[in-house]
Amino acid sequence: MQKISVIGGGAAGLACAVMLARAGEEVTILERGDRLGRKLAASGNGQGNVTNVHMDASHYFTDDPKHLARALSRFGSRETANFLSSMGGIFLPDARGRVYPAGRQASAIVDLFRRELERLGVKVIFQARVEDISYRNSFKLTYKEGTMSADKVILCAGGCAAEHFGTDGTAYALAQKFGHSLTPLRPALVRLKSDPALVKGLRGIRIDGALTVLHGAEPRFGVRGDILFTENGVSGDAVFRASSYAEKGDTLELDLLPDVSAEALRAAIGGRTGEDALLCILPNGLGRVLCRRAESLDALVSLVKAFRLPVLGDCGFREAQVTKGGIPLSETKEELESKYQKGLFFAGEILNVDGECGGYNLQWAFTSAFLAAAGVKSC
Ligand SMILES: Cc1cc2nc3c(=O)[nH]c(=O)nc-3n(C[C@H](O)[C@H](O)[C@H](O)COP(=O)(O)OP(=O)(O)OC[C@H]3O[C@@H](n4cnc5c(N)ncnc54)[C@H](O)[C@@H]3O)c2cc1C
């Protein structure tokens, strides 16, 4: 029996701990907060979008796409659903392939993990922020209230998105101490800021639109989905996905009525002018604002089909769902063991892998947990 320390009790750490304890290893989770799985419990608007049936490496950003593709082929969405339901519960896809617990409650997934950890006798130490790891024959971990030794360590301490869940980016230093580098970090799956004057009066309006990121005149990325107007920009699934491609200085071009051609729209408006020209075409609030702004029929059609917003930036790590960047995947072996320190493994968001909106990030947490657990068991 090996003595394993898992640093971080988020999605990756919890999955790793269960997989290793099931294999008979002695596992301890060191968690800096006072609760397990806080981010997991908040995921998918509280409903827990754990994976997606449309699963392959094209939905991810990483420095090592081939490594990632091999990882997903070993533990993909089916394996995630099977693993989670092995603890109890039913996991089902919606029409867009996003997989949720049938009860649509993310916090219940954390409860599943808690019950399983208890059954397996996994020790959890709370308020244990690991500040140092050293290695001499075995690992020595120093945390706020004490020290502990371990044969193997799995670093699952997350990135720097959503600091209020316990992830402020300080854990990268634990890996850097062993010679690991860090790719540039950036917030991802985050609201985008634009000129407040251009979205004035639109706050809270949500549409199913098409969004194109324009870099100069060149389209960089296009997506169809939820777009929500905020007081200073846009949010929603489509915007989160576009946030990985959009930079300050780019333009978002929104087609607010993607299923209707410009000609059909023109015909539907007919000769009407005034604030109600878009009644039953767009939500009333949005229609009224556009009608007020347009000086001609052509201008109105173009506002609806190509509403342009300059990108002034994003809303930062605090609001981001994930971190783009991290410890390079290429600095790990096939099963996520450090290439620089034997016995040190990684899993989850701390690595340079981030996915699109729709369950891809939790899938990475579970895939990487599986690989790290397999690596620990085999060496
Ligand atoms: C609001 C929100 C909604 C989301 N919704 C979805 C979704 O629906 N689907 C999806 O796929 N993804 C979603 N994500 C992203 C997903 O939750 C994360 O990618 C995933 O939780 C990362 O798992 P992790 O275990 O790597 O890190 P985390 O879940 O961040 O866990 C890291 C843990 O490590 C602990 N820790 C940090 N440093 C230390 C230290 N030095 N010592 C000890 N412990 C430490 C932290 O307290 C934390 O508990 C969402 C994220 C947010 C913020």
In b/e form, how buried is each residue of 183-214, taking b as 16+ CB within 10 angstroms?
A: bebbbbbbbbbbeeeebeebeebebebbbbbb
Tell me the C-alpha to C-alpha distance, in Å, between residue 159 and each of 128, 173, 308: 17, 11, 32
In angstroms, what is the span from residue 146 Cα to ligand 1's centroid? 24
In the numeric block, which tokens belong to residue 139?
């690992």
In angstroms, what is the span from residue 365 Cα to ligand 1's centroid? 9
Q: Which pTM was predicted?
A: 0.94
Instruction: Quickly tell me which residue has 């049936």 as its tokens.
Output: 53
Nearest-CA residue for ligand 1 atom 30 is 158
pLDDT in tens, the chain (379 residues): 899 999 999 999 999 999 999 999 999 999 999 999 999 999 999 999 999 999 999 999 999 999 999 999 999 999 999 999 999 999 999 999 999 999 999 999 999 999 999 999 999 999 999 999 999 999 999 998 899 999 999 999 999 999 999 899 999 999 999 999 999 999 999 999 999 999 999 999 999 999 999 999 999 999 999 999 999 999 999 999 999 999 999 999 999 999 999 999 999 999 888 999 999 999 999 999 999 999 999 999 999 999 999 999 999 999 999 999 999 999 999 999 999 999 999 999 999 999 999 999 999 999 999 999 999 999 8
- How far apart, in Å, do the first and last CA atoms of the chain sit? 12
With the most atoms of ligand 1 within 8 angstroms of its CB, the residue from 14, 39, 235 to mutate is 39
* CB 44 less than 6 A from any atom of ligand 1: yes
In angstroms, what is the span from residue 158 Cα to ligand 1's centroid? 6
What is the torsion angle, in degrees rounded to the nearest 10, for the CA atoms of residue 50, residue 54, residue 60 and residue 65? 120
Say if CB 231 and CB 315 are below 8 A apart. Answer: no
In angstroms, what is the span from residue 169 Cα to ligand 1's centroid? 11
* CB 17 less than 6 A from any atom of ligand 1: no
In angstroms, what is the span from residue 235 Cα to ligand 1's centroid? 20
* CB 41 less than 6 A from any atom of ligand 1: no
Amino acid at 213: V
List of domains in the chain: 3-187+323-378 (3.50.50.60), 192-314 (2.40.30.10)
In angstroms, what is the span from residue 11 Cα to ligand 1's centroid? 6
Q: What are phi and psi of 124, to 5 degrees?
A: -120, 125
**Rounded to an integer, what distance in angstroms lies between the CA atom of residue 116 and that of residue 127?**
21
SS3 179: coil
* CB 104 less than 6 A from any atom of ligand 1: no
What is the torsion angle, in degrees rounded to the nearest 10, for the CA atoms of residue 215, residue 221, residue 222 and residue 224? -120
